[in-house]
Structure 1
Amino acid sequence: MLIVLNLGLGMNPVLVGLIGALPRLTDAITDPLMGYISDHTKSKWGRRRPYIFFGAIAAAVIFALLWQLPRDQSENFYFWFFLIGSIIFYLAYTVFATPWVALGYELTPDYHERTRLMAVQNFMGQMAWLVAPWFLWFMQNDMLFEDMIEGAGWLAIIIGVFTVCVGILPAIFLKERSKHQEEKTNKESLNVSSSDKNEANEEFPAGFKDFIKGFLTTIKFKPFLYLCAATFLVFNGFMLVSSFQTYVIIYYVFGGDQSLGAEFAGWAGTVSAISTFCVIFLVTKLSTIMGKRNAFFFSTGVSIIGYALKWVCYTPESPMLLLIPSIFIAFGLGGLFTLMGSMVADVCDLDELNTKQRREGMFGSIYWWVVKLGMAVALAAGGFLLNATGFDVALAGQQSADTIFFMRLCDVIIPIITSLIAIWMIMAYPLTEDKAREVREALEARRGKMTVDDDEPIQNVELNPSS
């Protein structure tokens, strides 16, 4: 919808990129803080569900209000209006999303069931992309609205109502599986001092120092950092050119025809969403056969082929060919968010074995902040890159040949490079299926007061890239 600010209001792409990027930087503080609060909340409704319920409602209402735009204002006014409004929106979204992600990590302890769980989660999430690619077409449909601005206002209301209806469902119907297990573990299995036991009865056990310690421990945990780096690269590469793709379709394939370009961009997005559904099932099956790492290598490699095909298939002579790359590119994000969520859940087990704490909220908040940071960097850099190509919205379909060439080049090369680096990063990820099972067995043994001594070194989890 940020395209509305450029095409509908005529804002500079750089300012539009900053509006998308700057609020995400505040998440560097709010996301881990929300993760810590959720991890240490004690209530009769659980430590995740209250935040999910009220956060969904708040995010939906703020989003709907954000797009009820006042008319005939300056570019400076719109910049600050959206910047402040977006910061408030993302704060509300953090209240919902951070506990929601953490709840997903703790729903099952099984290595492969985690992948299936994340596959279902990703499958449901992809349903939005059956309709999202049509948003631009919907907003600028002159049979429904006077202009794109009015369309954006009504679309935001529709999205807000839908978000409230579905966002509260996890809070109502899901149970927090590990809540009682963790309380038992804390009381019976951990060797804590008397002062620590007193702190455990407080709502937020160790205050600011405990938060900082947990945060630093998380960001220093190498297996987790590999996952974050790979996610940042794959997702950032995709998002960085996502806006380029729309511009290339409109101004190269269709010579500046926004209506026809938006329609084909919608079809490309729909094909991508349908393909992603199939990819999720395939990647889930492959992960049980070849392991999560190899499944990631396969899915990301196929997406690289899709990005390369853009150079050939995005052509004015045969517009329908632009649907082909979408099928291959779907493997990138389809595999990424199916596998990475499952792998982060495995990392949470390893962290518990080493720190004796369940910290899904902290891990989830930092991981998804990396995702949002990738989006922020992509939105900001995308605006600068678009300007760097020489693009001028006032020229409409008369963009220069050099501008079109550099737009197409960025659209193809950038995600290929980031995906290749991501594959290299996951090669160093050490938590194989055998190691994950060893960790899980050690945890269950310690929780059951069996043979694991908390004072002994944890030999089974001495991991290195070659293990």
Structure 2
Amino acid sequence: MAHYQTAEKDRVPLGQKSAYGAGTFVLNFLPSALSVFSFFLITGFGVDPLIAGILGAIPRFLDAITDPIMGFITDNTKSRWGRRRPYIVVGAILSGTLFAMLWQMNPDWSDDFTFWYFLGFSLAFTIGNTMYATPFVGLGYEITADYNERTRLMAFSQFMGQIAWMIVPWFWVLIADPTVFPTQAEGVQTLSLFVAGGCIVLGILPGLFCKGIDSDKIEDRAEISFQNLWSNVKTVFKNIIQTFNNTAFVKLCGATFLVFNGFQLVASFSYFIIVFHMFNGDYGAAGTWPAWFSTLSAVMTAFFVIPIISWMANSWGKRNAFIISTLISVVGYGLKWYGFNPDNPWLIFMPIPLMSFGIGGLFTLMMSMTADVCDLDELNNGMPRKEGTFGAIYWLMVKLGQALALFLAGVVLKIVGFDAGAAVQTVETMTKLRIADIVIPAATALLAIAVMWKYDITEERAHQIKDELEQRRGEI
């Protein structure tokens, strides 16, 4: 395949990469911490499991509305600080503050008050986080116009993002340890303050130091105002239709939906298999093995997988790198059958280097490829560029798929006969669960490869698109 030398003007300085990586850490840290803390709604704050499920689902429906709207707003904003950066700074501050307030509940509150308090702040946090995440993702797509530099930027940022996954698994251990916090509620309340403070400090960095496209050169932007509200709404729907008419983008969304949500569907199964298959239901004996499994997965992804993925993409192209890395992950999933061995717990770490190629390659490559898709959209549909809209739709597909995966995980547990009230699970149940833990992510990964098989934005095609755009409207 063709290889092009990255122009000096298209290279992203280390300082900007670091600032964007800090933002990616926040992008991962807030939702992963939210997921862990939500478990303690039941055990720490006494919320009924069904009510807790409802409280977790409602904000996802709000996401479906706010994400595309925020994408449209940030694409069309006119500001001396650019289209994205003001929202990133304000959104980081709001996200952190509202996250902390969300978890300052009291277990002695009435059920009704707890429900409405948590629901209200959940919805407010969702809006604040959308204000941060949507323009942040859009900014990443436009920091550089170079095919390979985009991959290097995303590889660096995903490396820093993995640090969140190294930290969060230990929240389970800290919150549940009575020698650290007297109650689980106090553990959640206290840790939420540290999460919020760190996310505010790190979250504003890309808004302060990363440079996107010169917004003065973005033409044909919509006028955002209450007077033009109906026109703006129609434009939002028009943009959504245009994104789904982009075949390359639909393939990226489809492949991401399959790989990520296949992985998410079985994510909790490893915990159950470690506890009930390897340690026969003895939580004390299982100890920190589940946390170490998750943490070392993130460490392997950051220090081993992402650099290799970046090299493969620059050497063989992004599509080929995706196919190869996904195939490697399938082999890793198969090795879990031998790795979860009651006679030798250390073998649980054996599949990790290969499994990590799935998620490690996914977002590094997909975010880089979405940036290429934004160029194609401008070529086909003209200005304004719609990085915010593409980012919003892409991550909305991830969120909706994740919600579906969480639901289907419960269905699978029901089908295999898992009894949450039993101290020990049957051999038949654990065998079925172990098979599902391997077959489901392997099958979705193979389907994702089929989806991406004819993805056609190669390095050569990306540079052709870039040249055509620069001839049409100059460099931006």
- Tell me the TM-score normalized by structure 1: 0.87
Offset of 1:179 from its aligned partner? 2.0
How far apart, in 1, do the equivalents of 2:398 and 2:177 lie?
32
1:79–1:299 Cα change, 3 Å:
farther
CA-to-aligned-CA distance 1:82-121 (integer Å, 9 cap, x gap): 4554333222111100000000000000010000011111
Aligned residues: 433
1:163-193: per-residue Cα shift (whole Å, max 9, x none)? Answer: 11101111111222342342xxx3xxxxxxx
Alignment gaps of 5+ in structure 2: 1-35
How far is 1:74 from its partner?
Answer: 7.7
Q: Is the 8 A contact 1:13 1:384 kept in 2?
A: no
Residue 202 (structure 1) aligned to one of 223, 229, 235 = 223
What is the CA–CA distance in structure 2 between the aligned matches of 1:132 and 1:266, rounded to whole Å? 9
Q: What is the deviation of 1:432?
A: 1.5
Asked if the contact 1:52–1:96 (Cα under 8 Å) also holds between the matched residues in 2, the reply is: yes
Cα separation, partners in 2 of 1:230 and 1:253, compared to 1, 3 Å = same
Question: Aligned partner of 2:223: which letter?
Answer: E
Among candidates 374, 378, 393, match of residue 420 of structure 2: 393
Counterpart-to-counterpart distance in 1, 2:285 and 2:117: 31
Query: Displacement, 1:213?
Result: 1.1
1:174-220: CA deviations, max 9, x gaps?
222342342xxx3xxxxxxxxxx7xx583468522222211111122
**Which residue of the other structure, out of 311, 320, 332, is the alignment partner of 1:294?**
320
| Whole-angstrom CA distance in 2 between matches of 1:34 and 1:403 | 45
Task: Report if aligned partners of 1:13, 1:386 keep a CA contact under 8 Å in 2.
Answer: no
Q: Secondary structure at the match of 1:393?
A: coil
User: For 2:83 and 2:287, how far apart are their aligned partners in 1?
Assistant: 43
- Matches of 2:287 and 2:56 in 1, distance apart? 21
| Number of the residue aligned with 2:436 | 410
Q: Taking structure 1 as reference, are residues 201 and 439 closer, same or farther at Cα in structure 2, changes over 3 Å only? A: closer
CA contact (8 A) 2:64 2:396 kept: yes
Displacement of 1:268 in angstroms is: 1.0
Greater CA drift, 71-80 or 400-409? 71-80
Please name the residue that 2:409 is paired with: 382
Within a 5 Å distance, the mapping from 1:125-140 to structure 2 comes to 125-140=161-176
- 387 and 57 in structure 1: CA distance in 2 versus 1, 3 angstrom threshold: farther
TM-score by length of 2: 0.85
Moved more, 56-65 or 379-388: 379-388
Contact 2:418 / 2:429 at 8 angstroms: preserved in 1? yes
The structural deviation recorded for 1:353 is 0.6
How many angstroms does 1:418 deviate by? 0.8
Match among 291, 300, 312 for residue 266 of structure 1: 291
Residue of structure 1 equivalent to 2:446: 420
- The answer for the alignment partner of 1:453 in structure 2 is none
Query: What residue in structure 1 maps to residue 268 of structure 2?
Result: 243
CA distance in 1, matches of 2:113, 2:439: 36
Structure 1: tracts of 5 or more residues without a match: 187-196, 450-467
| Alpha carbons 1:246, 1:261 under 8 Å: kept | no
Match of 1:211 in 2: 236
Q: Return the alpha-carbon distance in structure 1 between the equivalents of residues 206 and 395 of structure 2.
A: 18
CA distance in 1, matches of 2:437, 2:116: 30
> 1:246 and 1:347 mapped to 2: Cα distance?
38
Counterpart of 2:156? 120
Greater displacement, 238-247 / 249-258? 249-258
RMSD (Å), alpha carbons: 2.3
Residues 13, 387 of structure 1: 8 Å contact kept: no
Structure 1 residues 55-94: Cα deviation after superposition (integer angstroms, max 9, x where no partner): 1111112222222333156878766654554333222111
CA offset at residue 428 of structure 1? Answer: 2.5
Partner of 1:373: 400
Q: Which amino acid aligns with 2:85?
A: R
Tell me the alpha carbon deviations over residues 247-294 of structure 1, each in whole angstroms, 9 at most, x when there is no partner: 222222222233453511111112111111111110100111111011
Please list, as runs of the form range in 1=range in 2, the aligned pairs for 1:9-408 lying within 5 A after superposition. 16-71=52-107, 82-182=118-218, 186=219, 200=221, 202-203=223-224, 206-261=231-286, 263-277=288-302, 278-357=304-383, 358-395=385-422, 397-408=423-434
Query: 2:192 is matched by which residue type in structure 1?
Result: A
Identity of aligned residues (%): 45
Residue identity matched to 1:221: N
